[in-house]
Amino acid sequence: MTPKDTTPLVELRQVGKVYSLGERSITALQAVSLRIFSGEFVAIWGPSGSGKSTLCNLIGMLDVPSSGTVQILGQDVTMLSDGKRSDIRNKTIGFVFQSFNLIPVLSALENVMLPLQIAKIPTMQAKQLAKERLAEVGLAEHESQRPAKLSGGQQQRVAIARALVANPSLVIADEPTANLDSENAIKVIETMRELSQRNGTTFIFSTHDHRLLERVERQLQMCDGQIIEDRIAEPTESCRRVQVAL
């Protein structure tokens, strides 16, 4: 069975988003239609203001479209109440942010445990799961350190472990490498890619950085609120070399 025979994890149909700013209205997205299947590793790229964050927010159910529909695993989530949307979001989606958003007074391990503790998972079990996730992002030896003692790239990998700890089907990362130097940016993308391949988690991330695109199979290029190209590419040789080295 090919992915195209299965229900898409995410499906947008003719989605538009208009923001009102006093008298003015700004069209951030227009007539975007898109299907993303389980296990895909997808980059959304394009210039500032092209609609990347708006698209990530709509896929992540953090906002609602002005027109069109958003479906998650075949369910139209557009008209659901806030409570129902939060329920689906908490069960299905993990988020990674540009500025890491770690809690400074907690250790790396405690930061990763947090979503499980909020979900009332017993502490011993939460600790075990968080340790496994930290090990997966290569930070087993840093679990007791607070964020300030870690590099930006390490902090973002803690944030990735935290996004994954409750086992979401989808992780959305809006500009996850914007605050990183290129070496750390590459490491963060490779970590996400490896986790996607190993665990079948779907990752969608946005970026301005054209150089990261050679590491991504599917690229959605945005311009003026539209997807102007949806390209599926083979990873390049340099990308494979980095993967081996990591």
Q: How far is the CB of 206 from ligand ATP (least distance, A)?
A: 6
DSSP lists the bridge partners of residue 34 as: 12
Choosing from 9, 12, 15, 28, the residue that interacts with ligand ATP (CB under 6 A) is: 28
With contacts defined by CB under 6 A, name the span among 21-29, 80-88, 148-156, 165-173 that binds ligand ATP. 21-29
Residues 145-184 that bind ligand ATP (CB under 6 A): none
**Contact pattern for ligand ATP over residues 60 through 89, marking x by CB under 6 A:** ------------------------------
* Strand-pair category, 170-174 with 93-96: parallel
DSSP calls for 169-234 = SEEEEESTTTTS-HHHHHHHHHHHHHHHHHH--EEEEEES-GGGGGG-SEEEEEETTEEEEEEE-P
What residues have CB less than 8 Å from 95, skipping those under 6 apart? 60, 163, 171, 172, 173, 174
Interface positions, 197-226, toward ligand ATP (CB under 6 A): 208
* Interaction of residue 16 with ligand ATP, rule CB under 6 A: no
52 binds ligand ATP per the rule CB under 6 A: yes
Q: How far is the CB of 36 from ligand ATP (least distance, A)?
A: 18
Query: In the complex with ligand ATP, which residue's Cβ is closer, 106 or 178?
Result: 178
Helix, strand, coil in percent for the chain, rounding step 5: 40, 25, 35
26 binds ligand ATP (CB under 6 A): yes
Residue 90: helix, strand or coil by DSSP?
A: helix
Choose which of 10, 32, 43, 54 interacts with ligand ATP (CB under 6 A): 54
Q: Check residue 191 for interaction with ligand ATP (CB under 6 A).
A: no
Q: Tokens 């609120």 correspond to what residue?
A: 225
50 binds ligand ATP (CB under 6 A): yes
**Cβ(213)–Cβ(43) under 8 Å?**
yes
Closer to ligand ATP by CB, 120 or 210: give it: 210
The encoded tokens of residue 9 equal 């994890």
Which residues sit at the interface with ligand ATP, rule CB under 6 A? 19, 21, 26, 28, 46, 48-54, 208
